[in-house]
Amino acid sequence: MVTGGVTKFAKAHPAMDFRLMVKRAYDYALKEVPNLTADRIDGTRIAYFSDHFARQLKAASMVQDYLGMNPKGSVRIEWGGATGGECFQAGYEAVASGRMDVCLTAGFETMSRVPTWKGNEFIALASDTNFDFPLGGFYTGYYALMVMRHIYEYLRLNRFAHVKDEREAQRLAIAEGSRIMSLVSVKNHRNALYNPYAQYPKKLTVQDVLDSEMISYPITREQICTMSDGAAVAVLCSESVARELTDRPIQVTGVGCGTDTMRLADRPFGKVPLLPHESATDYSHLPYPGVHSFRAGRTAGIEAYRMAGITDPVHELDFVELHDAYASSEIQTYEDLGLCRYGEGYAFVERGDPFLKGIDYGFPVPRAGAMPVNPSGGLIACGHPVGATGLMQAVFAFWQLQGTIPKHFGDRTLQLPHPKRGAIHSHAGTGSSVTVSILERGFR
Partner 1 sequence: MKARPPTFQKFREVQAELDRSGSALFRDAEGIESLIVRYPYSVTYIHSYAEDSPFFLGLAEGRLRGSHCTTKGCGFVYATPRGHCMICGGPTEWIDLPKDGRVHSWTTCHFGSEAFLKETPYNLALIEFEGAGSLLLVRLKDAVESDLYVGMPVQARFEPNPKYSITDVWFVPSK
Q: Give the residues lining the site for partner 1 (CB under 8 A).
A: 11-12, 14-15, 55, 112, 115, 117-118, 120-121, 123-124, 129-132, 134-138, 140-141, 144-146, 148-149, 152, 156, 166-167, 170, 213-219, 261, 263-269, 291
Taking the complex as a whole, how short is the minimal distance between the CB of residue 16 and partner 1, in angstroms?
A: 9
What b-and-e string marks burial along 118-138, b requiring 16 or more CB atoms within 10 Å of the CB?
ebbebbbebbeeeebeeeebb
Q: Quick one: 134 or 358, whose CB is closer to partner 1?
A: 134
- Partnered with residue 440 across adjacent β-strands are 251, 421
Q: Which residues pair with 105 in a beta bridge?
A: 45, 234
C-beta of 415: minimal distance to partner 1 in Å?
Answer: 28
Kindly tell me which of 2 and 291 has the beta carbon lying closer to partner 1. Answer: 291
In the complex, the smallest distance separating the C-beta of residue 219 from partner 1, rounded to whole angstroms, is 8
Smallest gap from residue 25 Cβ to partner 1 (A): 18
The 3-state DSSP class for residue 160 equals coil
Q: Please state the closest distance from residue 260 (CB atom) to partner 1, in A.
A: 10
Name the residue nearer to partner 1 (CB basis): 88 or 294: 294
* Total Cβ atoms within 10 A of residue 417: 8
**Rounded distance between C-alpha atoms, residue 18 and residue 306, angstroms:** 36
Least distance between partner 1 and beta carbon 129 (Å):
8
Least distance CB 312 / partner 1 (angstroms): 32
Coil/strand/helix, residue 405: helix
Q: Of the candidates 256, 340, 333, 261, which has an alpha carbon nearest to the alpha carbon of residue 294?
A: 333
Shorter beta-carbon distance to partner 1: residue 40 or 149: 149
Closer residue to partner 1 (CB): 54 or 401: 54
Q: Which is nearer to partner 1, 17 or 32 (CB)?
A: 17
> With contact defined as beta carbons under 8 Å apart, do 144 and 152 qualify?
no
Q: Which residues contact 84 (CB under 8 A, 6 or more apart)?
A: 47, 107, 232, 386, 387, 388, 389, 390, 391, 392, 393, 394, 426
First to last CA, the chain: 16
Dmax over Cα atoms in the chain, in whole Å? Answer: 70
Sheet holding 421-427, edge to edge: 250-259, 433-441, 421-427, 319-321
CA dihedral of residues 241, 245, 246, 250 (deg, nearest 10): -40
Residue 113 or 277: which CB sits closer to partner 1? 113
Closest separation between CB of residue 410 and partner 1, Å?
Answer: 18
Q: In what order do the strands lie in the sheet with 229-237?
A: 3-6, 229-237, 102-110, 43-47, 73-77
Interacting residues of 319 by C-beta distance below 8 A, sequence separation 6+: 371, 372, 373, 375, 397, 400, 416, 419, 422, 423
Number of H helices, E strands in the chain: 16, 13
We find the least distance from the C-beta atom of residue 270 to partner 1, in angstroms, to be 10
Q: How far apart are CA 226 and CA 228, in angstroms?
A: 6
Cβ 143 to partner 1 shortest distance, Å: 9
